Amino acid sequence: MNKETFELIVIWSFILWMTGVIILFILLLRKFTFGKWDDTNPNPHFGETFAIPRGFFRGTLTLSLLFFVILFYIGDFYFDYGSGKLGELTTAFEMMLAFYFGAKVMHHLASNDKNKTKALIETLRKVNKVTPREKDDFEVDGAIG
């Protein structure tokens, strides 16, 4: 395989990949965004982007970048482009994965921490038989502070 053939493979791979992603996006739009939802059968993904299941866009971007990083590594392995751009692409991929999974971990930690705090407050209220407080002075309407 020569360099020109590989470049054609890369171009057609890009075209096929993007066509597949666009077709998948259109199918998801038809099913979730413009689907037949009513009060008895609500869309479970109503609050998400385009009412599509959560994580679709992040997952698609991650898989797309992974696909092209592997494709470019194969090209660099066979043809030794040696331009140094592959390292930058790898760094971008690593950063995207780090931010994606880092954000997910922080989200789960924060929600878990919030649930633990609520459970602790309820336990303390039961043990000490404390009722929720009335509004403090600073919480009344018109208070400035």
Burial 39-51 (b: 16+ CB within 10 A, else e): eeeebebeebeeb
Q: Specify if 46 maps to a domain.
A: yes
Q: What is the number of structural domains in the chain?
A: 1
Q: Specify if 62 maps to a domain.
A: yes
Q: Which residues contact 128 (CB under 8 A, 6 or more apart)?
A: none
Residue 5, pLDDT above cutoff 90: no
Domain of 64, in residue numbers: 3-102
Per-residue pLDDT, averaged over 101-129, amounts to: 73
N residues, the chain: 145
Q: Specify if 126 maps to a domain.
A: no
Q: Specify if 116 maps to a domain.
A: no
Q: Specify if 143 maps to a domain.
A: no
When pLDDT is cut at 50, 70 and 90, the band that residue 19 belongs to is very high
Residue 21, pLDDT above cutoff 90: yes
Structure tokens at 62: 């991650």
Q: Specify if 51 maps to a domain.
A: yes
Residue 9, pLDDT above cutoff 60: yes
Q: How confident is the model at residue 125, as a pLDDT? A: 76
Q: Specify if 35 maps to a domain.
A: yes
46/49 Cα distance (integer angstroms): 8
When pLDDT is cut at 50, 70 and 90, the band that residue 26 belongs to is very high
Q: Specify if 123 maps to a domain.
A: no
When pLDDT is cut at 50, 70 and 90, the band that residue 138 belongs to is low
